[in-house]
Structure 1
Amino acid sequence: MANHKSALKRIRNSETKRLRNKYQHKTTRNAIKKLREADKKEAETLFPSVVSMIDRLAKRNIIHDNKAANLKSKLAKHVGAL
């Protein structure tokens, strides 16, 4: 157990951030799955919002920048092929 007030606060903050990151990451993954299953018209309308979500995750270091780039590239390729 933590011995300092600052360590206890760090534990609380870390848990809060972990839950927020987990929620945002899961929400983005669900949006990606929804986009992959959508037809062309719906996929084209979803694409900008999904890319925005991916960029937000990369900016906050929830996912790596290269992973974000790979995801966006694959999704753009998928939407273009529909």
Structure 2
Amino acid sequence: MANHRSALKRHKQSLIRRDRNRAVKTRVKNALKTVYSAVENGDKGQAEEALKQASSVLDRAATKRVIHWRNASRHISRLTKKVNALG
């Protein structure tokens, strides 16, 4: 554990950020799962709606720098290809 006041503050901030980043990553994983399950079931309408929400979640995670922006872009691209292949 840290001894200096500034180091204590940094430690406290890192714990808060870790919790926030975990929440964002969980939200991303759940959004991806929703799209993949809709694609697996062959439900195009549900898949398009889930894709819309997932791309929003991915973009938000990239904006907060929880994931890299290219990673988010790659996920959105691949999901869009899968959803478009349904129609």
Q: TM-score, length-normalised on structure 2?
A: 0.88
CA distance in 2 between counterparts of 1:25 and 1:18 reads 10
Superposition RMSD in Å: 0.9
What is the match of residue 19 of structure 2?
19
Q: Tell me which stretches of 4 or more aligned residues in structure 1 moved more than 6 Å.
A: none
Q: Flag structure 2 segments of 5+ consecutive residues without an equivalent.
A: none
CA distance in 2 between counterparts of 1:33 and 1:76 reads 14
1:62-77 aligned at under 5 Å gives the runs: 62-77=66-81
Q: TM-score, length-normalised on structure 1?
A: 0.93
Q: Flag structure 1 segments of 5+ consecutive residues without an equivalent.
A: none
What is the match of residue 30 of structure 1?
30
CA distance in 2 between counterparts of 1:28 and 1:64 reads 13
Tell me by how many angstroms 1:20 deviates: 0.8
